[in-house]
Amino acid sequence: MTTTFLALYRGESVAAAKLLALTAEPELVRDFAERMLATPEEQEPDAVLAELEHGRRRALWLVRGETQSAAGMAERRSGEQE
């Protein structure tokens, strides 16, 4: 099974950055994907880069759907345990 996760880094550059936090919590992953999808898509004049952006947004859309399902299952399990 594939896991989608988020990582938070901080540093003077990408090469010098240090990992601050890592999570695979479905609600956080879904929220991040939704926020990224809420940003307007900019017109890309380069056809190759436009396809890359389209694919990135499609991947975020799929992650959002997967995490909605995972969050729903977690909520149902939580309700059963109470």
SS3 64: helix
Tell me which residues of the chain have a pLDDT lower than 50: none
pLDDT, position 75: 60
Q: Is residue 35 part of a domain?
A: yes
DSSP state of 10: E
Name the pTM for this structure: 0.71
Q: Is residue 58 part of a domain?
A: yes
Q: Is residue 16 part of a domain?
A: no
pLDDT, position 22: 97
Q: Specify whether the CB–CB gap between 5 and 29 falls below 8 A.
A: yes
Q: Is residue 11 part of a domain?
A: no
Which domain covers residue 39, as residue numbers? 26-81
Query: CB-based contacts of 64: which residues, under 8 Å, 6+ apart?
Result: 30, 33, 34, 37
For the segment 55-67, what is each residue's pLDDT rounded down to a tens digit? 999 999 999 999 8
Structure tokens, 43: 């017109």
Q: Is residue 33 part of a domain?
A: yes
Q: Is residue 13 part of a domain?
A: no
Q: Is residue 15 part of a domain?
A: no
**Tally of domains in the chain:** 1
pLDDT, position 1: 77
Q: Is residue 18 part of a domain?
A: no
